[in-house]
Amino acid sequence: MSIQKIGVVGAGTMGNGIAQSCAVIGIPVVMTDIAQAAVERGLKTIDGSLERLVKKEKLTAEAKARAMGLVRTSTDTAALKDCDLVIEAATENLELKLKLFAALDGLAKPDAIIASNTSSISITKLAAATKRPDQVIGMHFFNPVPMMQLVELIRGLATSDTTYASVEAVTKQLGKTPVKVKNSPGFVVNRMLCPMINEAVFALSEGLATAQEIDDAMKLGCNHPIGPLALCDLIGVDVELAVMQVLYEGFKDSKYRPAPLLVEMVEAGYLGRKSGRGFYTYG
């Protein structure tokens, strides 16, 4: 099935990045959110991001105007009813997403594909909330979406080959590289990345080295562009904890137990960059 129009549910960090990536390649996109303020913030972020590309001469002013003209916004999910693909990028919460999937199933075109950008929730579970589980798939983009190459495509138990093929094609059209992944806690990247960050938190709490030394060691020793603790601050300390909990509960394997310091930092409200303090402090 060829995808002519895309809907994005949630205008936050990921949603506005996904909408931008679609509009830039000429696909009309409808971006919805529950709050008008969130929709406006999302649109402003897209505008600012495209403007930076114009300043860097990576995009012409005309191309920016064309892309902005392709983004429609709404606070009413009914605005998604004529989309061929709806990508859900709302808050990471199982109850919320189950409700959303049932609602989207009720209003989307019968042949429309419904995808989720979830980092940790089972695609099979979300698909079961609809009457079209064969047309449900995971499209796990990375942050910041316009810059990051990878999209993990997650097949639920019922996802059909045609759904996979359509979503694989549109992912390539977006200029991204799809990697096919089985539905499993953390998929591929978070399954490996989050335990590494968690281990860095254990190392810090054991006094192995300071945060700066741990980060410098991984940058210089492994050629990582950013150290694990600085990365944790960027991702969000709460998000890292949530993923570790999903891995721990999903596999029932003690190797995924969250570092106690991670739990304590979340209790203290040290959530990383977004709260001004995590493993480092931010102005």
Residues forming contacts to ligand NAD in the complex (CB under 6 A) are 9-15, 32-35, 38, 89-92, 96, 100, 117-119, 140-141, 143, 235
Catalytic pick among 49, 119, 120, 198: 119
**CA angle (189, 192, 196) in 5-degree steps:** 130
Is residue 152 flagged as an active site residue?
A: yes
- As measured in angstroms, the least distance from the Cβ of 221 to ligand NAD is 25
Cβ distance to ligand NAD smaller for residue 186 or 227: 186
Cβ distance to ligand NAD smaller for residue 113 or 151: 151
- As measured in angstroms, the least distance from the Cβ of 13 to ligand NAD is 4
Q: Which residue is nearest to ligand NAD (CB)?
A: 12
- As measured in angstroms, the least distance from the Cβ of 89 to ligand NAD is 5
38, two tokens:
């969130």
AA letter at 105? D
Q: Quickly tell me which residue has 């609602």 as its tokens.
A: 103
Catalytic pick among 122, 166, 190, 198: 190
- Rg, the chain, Cα only: 19
Cβ distance to ligand NAD smaller for residue 147 or 208: 147
- The secondary structure of residue 28, as a DSSP letter, is -
- As measured in angstroms, the least distance from the Cβ of 50 to ligand NAD is 18
Q: Are 104 and 86 in contact (CB under 8 A)?
A: yes
Cβ distance to ligand NAD smaller for residue 9 or 194: 9
Catalytic pick among 140, 183, 198, 240: 140
Catalytic pick among 120, 152, 166, 198: 152
**CA angle (60, 65, 71) in 5-degree steps:** 130
Q: Are 250 and 263 in contact (CB under 8 A)?
A: no
Determine how many CB atoms are found less than 10 A away from the CB of residue 28: 16
d(Cα 40, Cα 34) in Å, to the nearest integer? Answer: 11
List, by residue number, the catalytic residues: 119, 140, 152, 190
